[in-house]
Amino acid sequence: MKTYDFICIGGGSAGFNAARVAAGLGQRVAVIDGARQLGGLCILRGCMPSKTLIYAAEVLHHARHAGRFGLRVTGARADMKAVHARKKRIIADFARYRVDALTGGKFDLYRAYARFLDPHTLELSDGTKLRGRHFLIGTGSKVSVPPVPGLKEAKAWTSDDVLDLDFLPKSVLVLGGGIVACELAQYLSRMGSKVTLVQRSPNILRDHSDDASCVVQQAFRDEGIELFTDTRLQSVAADRHGATVKFHHDGKLVTRRAAHLFNALGREPNTAGLNLAAAGVKTRPDGQIIINRWQQSSTPHIYAAGDCSGPHEIVHIAIEQGILAARHAVKAKGLKPVDWSLLLNVVFTDPQLATIGRLERDLDAAGVSYLTASHPFNDHGKSILMEANYGYVKIIAEPKRGRILGAEIVGKDAGELIHAFSTALALRATVRDMLRAPWYHPTLAEIVTYPLEEIADKLAK
């Protein structure tokens, strides 16, 4: 039986980066990944394929609405087989790089699934047994199927299916209003499908502010997506002709039918097959591994990172968590836990929605005072000439010195613009510090100077 200093279960963003760092620190490392394809969720079935397709849909959208710019573009339509082939080609390149890194000899790679026999022993699906001094669980998440009558039997599409389409669905019913639901609903709509989205909470993107989500909702409706919020699903049924969903909305029972059904009601930690009880690792009822600020589980030599432990399912967070676990296992000096006051989040709808740092509801809950200022995209030169009029920039700062606490942007290229605040927050900069920097005119980025100046004026008083 082989023994390793550090064993990573899962070769995705958290596991791969933990293994890379542990090996660099002189540890004997193994990575265990039994997935059909190596690469992890982000590369194969998440971030990269979805953004490849979303950008293609954005190009098509601009072509179809070229008249706004005084241009004539006729016959713009989606060639889904060509779009699909391009996505596969791009993702194959990304995956090849990850496979080369996993098989490059810096650590041992086992193409199998793992389960714990005891806190230091794993049994793999091929019968191999391994012992480890430390472990990192990075097994990610999987699509969840909530107990809606008929949903399990309907065999609805998941995000995996939508990202792999090589034809244009005539119509799609989307269940859910989170990031995946919203990004892919708009993608399908822009490609030419008739889309109906049914969301249980009062607004889509419920983890974001009402103001921001309402901007995206309005854009969806303006583009022709049929959107129902504040609903209660009653039942789902499917036959060879399509799917039917019944739900309560505004005191009425509403029925909608489409050729296809897309279940985007959320994901759950992929931990059920690990036999965590044998290792003494405690989880929440949904299977999420409970961790401390050093990524340690209830069994201290077993760490967890990424979607399987949370609290945020974001790639750069998973990487940071995996690296922290690897360094903590060797008792590296100068370690700091993940700083949640710098949390960065982007939703790739159009308009995009991006946030960083501590937002108003966080500060209100903590009883912290703050100043805010915002400026709309429809009152900014560059966004007006780009026909990018949805949304706003909002900045949140502490009221004495004006130190930046957070920012919220919903609008054109918000995912790019939000990075104007990344360094500022990390360096604890103030609004006046940011105003000392040059801001080129006319640019989209220049819009952030207006709320910065407004807060600076408030401080002067």
State the Cα–Cα distance between residues 116 and 53, nearest whole angstrom: 39
Q: What is the pLDDT of residue 180?
A: 96
Query: Looking at the predicted structure, is the pLDDT value of residue 449 above 90?
Result: yes
Task: Please provide the distance, in angstroms rounded to a whole number, between the alpha carbons at the two ends of the chain.
Answer: 71
Q: What is the pLDDT of residue 49?
A: 95
What 3-state class would DSSP assign to 406? strand
Q: Which of 329, 348, 363 is the last residue of a domain?
A: 329
Q: Which of 265, 298, 318 is the last residue of a domain?
A: 265
The CA distances from residue 126 to 129, 135, 188, in Å, are 9, 19, 40
What 3-state class would DSSP assign to 105? coil
Q: What is the pLDDT of residue 39?
A: 83
Q: What is the mean pLDDT of the chain?
A: 96
Contact indicator for 137, 302 with CB cutoff of 8 Å: yes
Instruction: Please state the rounded mean pLDDT for residues 419-446.
Output: 97
Instruction: Give the pair of three-digit tokens for residue 158.
Output: 């998941």
Q: Which of 206, 326, 270 is nearest to 45 (CA)?
A: 270
Q: What percentage of the chain reaches a pLDDT higher than 70?
A: 100
Same domain, 359 and 438: yes
Contact indicator for 13, 42 with CB cutoff of 8 Å: yes
Q: What percentage of the chain reaches a pLDDT higher than 90?
A: 93
Instruction: Please state the rounded mean pLDDT for residues 111-119.
Output: 97
Confidence bin at 1 (pLDDT 50/70/90): confident
- Print the domain residue range for 438: 340-460
Confidence bin at 461 (pLDDT 50/70/90): low
Q: What is the pLDDT of residue 229?
A: 96
Instruction: Please state the rounded mean pLDDT for residues 150-170.
Output: 95
Query: Looking at the predicted structure, is the pLDDT value of residue 292 above 80?
Result: yes
Q: What is the pLDDT of residue 361?
A: 94
Q: Is residue 334 part of a domain?
A: no
Same domain, 167 and 91: no
Same domain, 388 and 282: no
Instruction: Please state the rounded mean pLDDT for residues 178-204.
Output: 97
Confidence bin at 460 (pLDDT 50/70/90): low
Q: What is the pLDDT of residue 269?
A: 96
Confidence bin at 125 (pLDDT 50/70/90): very high
pLDDT tens-digit series, residues 319-371: 999 999 999 999 999 999 999 999 999 999 999 999 999 999 999 999 999 99
Same domain, 421 and 276: no
pLDDT tens-digit series, residues 70-113: 999 999 999 999 999 999 999 999 889 888 888 888 999 999 99
Contact indicator for 442, 246 with CB cutoff of 8 Å: no
Q: Is residue 335 part of a domain?
A: no
- Give the pairing type, strands 226-228 and 352-357: unpaired
CA count, 13 A, side-chain hemisphere, 208: 27
Instruction: Give the pair of three-digit tokens for residue 400.
Output: 């004495």
Same domain, 24 and 78: yes
pLDDT tens-digit series, residues 211-229: 999 999 999 999 999 999 9
Helix or strand run (H / E) with residue 322: helix 315-329
135 strand-pairing partners: 7, 302
pLDDT tens-digit series, residues 273-289: 999 999 999 999 999 99
Query: Looking at the predicted structure, is the pLDDT value of residue 50 above 90?
Result: yes
**CA 402 remoteness from chain centre:** 30
Same domain, 37 and 90: yes
The single residue listed with the structure tokens 């909608």 is 256
Q: What is the pLDDT of residue 307?
A: 95
Same domain, 20 and 137: yes
Q: Which of 452, 451, 448 is nearest to 432 (CA)?
A: 452
Backbone φ and ψ of 258, nearest 5°? -150, 165
Same domain, 259 and 273: no
Count structural domains, the chain: 3
Q: Is residue 44 part of a domain?
A: yes
Q: Which of 276, 296, 329 is the last residue of a domain?
A: 329
Instruction: Please state the rounded mean pLDDT for residues 129-158.
Output: 95
Q: What is the largest CA-CA distance in the chain?
A: 72
State the Cα–Cα distance between residues 30 and 32, nearest whole angstrom: 7
Same domain, 261 and 403: no
Same domain, 175 and 241: yes
Task: Write b or e for each residue in 85-123: b if 16 or more Cβ atoms lie within 10 A of its Cβ, otherwise e.
Answer: eebeeebeebbeebbebbeeeebebbbbbbbbeeebbbb
CATH number at residue 250: 3.50.50.60
